[in-house]
Chain A
Amino acid sequence: MRVRDLSYSLVVGTLATVGFVVLIGPVLIVLVTSFTLGRSIKFPPAGLSLQWYQLLFDPVRSSQIHRAALNSVEVALVAMSVATILATLASVALARRTGPWVRALDTFFMSPLILPMLAFGLAALMYFTFLGFRPSLALIAAGHVVVVSPLALRTTSASMAQLDPALLESSASLGAGWFYTFRRVTLPVIAPGIVAGAFLAFVGSLDNVPISLFLAGPRSDMLPIRMWGMMESMLDPRVAAVSGVLIAVVLVLMLVMERVVGLTRRSLG
């Protein structure tokens, strides 16, 4: 019996360690690589320098990357705002309701998480082309809203589920109208869920590949697509520097969100 427990600790412990290292190792390796002194990407780097960051922040030589990054942030802000508002309204509508229609609607809203979004990206390209639209950031944002809404809906719905209905009833019995109750009771309770959802929606849009791949054009270049271009054929070491910046930004945002709304707890839903 003791021997079996020992074998359990050994097997589970080893596999878990492998899992842990595999998860975090690549992120650390990218960070270290981005400071390389060499002219090519390799690990361990040939000495340390900031040369690739200097080149990346050069407004002339890296102007295309800056353009793509600004486009991505712009689209992410729009998609985040729209998705958060729509998802919050929907979560209020669906909260504490059961029945086949509610379940069907919930599955429909969550389906972008499981359906291959590459198929949707192609569908959106054909749809917008047939409607006569030319590629633009607005169309990309519309596509992103579909993809990131489930992320916002999940955390907001989880908060709605924790809202005590007795609070709403006592508010109503004290004479408060529906909107007043929503503003003064519901909203404060679900606000952390909304904020966490908005953050996940923002990052989801910023990182989106399958939609941007089809909808991005020469005048609406997106950062992930540009980075893909930089990795093709000749590996541009600035990819490492862009990655370094992205990891740093996400890390800072994550720490802030952890303090404000307890992100790690909320992502478990």
Chain B
Amino acid sequence: MRPRPAEWQLALPLGLAYAAFFLVPLLLLIVVSGFADEKITTPGLTQWRKFLGDSFTWKVIFDTVKLGALTVVATVLVGYPLALVCLGAGPRVQRVILFVVILPLLTSVVVRTFAWIVILGREGVINHTLLWLGVVPAPLRLLQTEHGLVIALTQIEMPLLLLPLLSVMSRMDPSLRDASAALGASRWRTLFRVTLPLSLPGLVAGCMLVFASATTAFISQFVIGGNRLVYLPLLIWQQSLVVYNWPLASAAALTLLVSVGFGVTAIAAVGRRSRAYAL
């Protein structure tokens, strides 16, 4: 029998590729942000001071985190009930729902963003309907507003919530729900005392993905939000590809990394807390 190769070595190619093309570039962000001038010759923290000393920056950071949080709330509000319906449905309906979840996920983000321009625009679906019903006298402004952007991001990011959620729900033991009902619990009580605690890991994982994706969704933010709504990705893009101030762009990118990391950690902490409370 030939000697068995050490299987852990098979992780080396991917590990080395990640080290060379992922880890080193990310570390480079830290290095470049530590240069004072745009030509990247003199080390110094001038750019960081300029960036974090500006009250506008803090407003942008706050708005970015807020956008992520609002999108998480909106996706959970309509996504969780959809997952519940999928859980209680027969195999045929389940397949339809899964298909409807995966199709948008595989449809380019740019296509989904474009769809929302058609829906939210001055002559879009919503304004057309509202005018026709006589609810409003003139077209509403929906593009370039925060709530318009949150509505669009709800659809754009919802598959990211639903996939981990449905994955965890499909592994739940249905007899627990039946037992809860048989013991006289109402459907609300079964939801909050049985289904929700059991599905929490999937819900938390989904919320993290939605938060991370919504805060970083540059094209959706830029096209639907317009120039008036400024989020961190727009700053990174402007500083790196328009102004060519790479140190400042790096500082903004690191700030985005930290903000997303902070938000994701906060979601995980809330998940742990509510788990302890529910059980």
Contacts and interface: CB of A to CB of B under 8 A. Distances in A.
Interface in A25-65: 25-27, 29-30, 33, 40-44
Contacts of A132: none
A154 B152 CA distance: 28
Interface string B81-120: 1101100000000010111111110111111111111110
Given A42-B123, A207-B110, 20 more contacts: A4-B188, A22-B158, A24-B104, A26-B155, A27-B103, A29-B118, A29-B125, A30-B114, A43-B128, A90-B14, A126-B29, A126-B250, A172-B4, A177-B1, A178-B4, A210-B218, A214-B240, A239-B114, A243-B108, A250-B106
A260 interface: no
Given A119-B253, A119-B254, A207 B167 contact: no
A246 interface: yes
A209 B112 CA distance: 13
A26 B102 contact: no
A124 B21 contact: yes
A60 to B, nearest CB: 24
Contacts of B77: 15
Interface string B3-31: 01101111101110110011011101100
A123 B107 contact: no
A228 to B, nearest CB: 5
Contacts of A232: 223
B36 interface: no
A115 B260 contact: yes
Given A24-B100, A203-B106, A264-B95, A228 B115 contact: no
A114 interface: yes
Q: Please name the 9 residue pairs, one residue from A and one from B, whose CB atoms are nearest each other, closest first.
A: A26-B115, A19-B78, A123-B25, A93-B11, A19-B82, A119-B253, A15-B81, A93-B10, A127-B25
A27 B115 contact: yes
Interface of B: 1-2, 4-5, 7-11, 13-15, 17-18, 21-22, 24-26, 28-29, 32, 77-82, 84-85, 95, 97-104, 106-119, 121, 123-125, 128, 151, 154-155, 158-159, 163-164, 166-167, 170, 186-188, 191, 208-209, 212, 215-216, 218-219, 223, 233, 236-237, 240-241, 246, 249-250, 253-254, 256-257, 260, 264
A119 B118 contact: no
Contact of A33 (B7, B17, B118, B187): B118
A231 B188 CA distance: 45
Taking each of A13, A114, A119, A124, which has the highest tally of chain B beta carbons within 10 Å of its own beta carbon? A119
B111 A246 contact: yes
Nearest to B237: A213
Given A90-B14, A268-B163, A12 B84 contact: yes
A90 B10 contact: yes
Contacts of A23: 82, 100-101, 104, 155, 158-159
Contacts of B24: 127
A230 B246 CA distance: 27
A269 B78 CA distance: 23
A120 B81 CA distance: 34
A84 B188 CA distance: 44
Contacts of A166: none
A190 to B, nearest CB: 13
19 contacts: A12-B81, A42-B121, A43-B123, A43-B128, A93-B10, A119-B29, A119-B236, A123-B25, A126-B246, A146-B17, A149-B14, A209-B109, A209-B110, A224-B108, A247-B107, A250-B103, A264-B95, A267-B98, A268-B166
B125 A43 contact: yes
Contact of B118 (A43, A94, A143, A175): A43
Contacts of B109: 207, 209, 224
Contacts of B100: 20, 23-24
A254 interface: yes
A227 B109 CA distance: 11
A118 B218 contact: yes
A177 B218 contact: no
A16 interface: yes
Given A16-B78, A19-B82, A116 B257 contact: yes
A93 B8 contact: yes
A190 B256 CA distance: 37
Nearest to B95: A264
A227 B28 contact: no
B114 A240 contact: yes
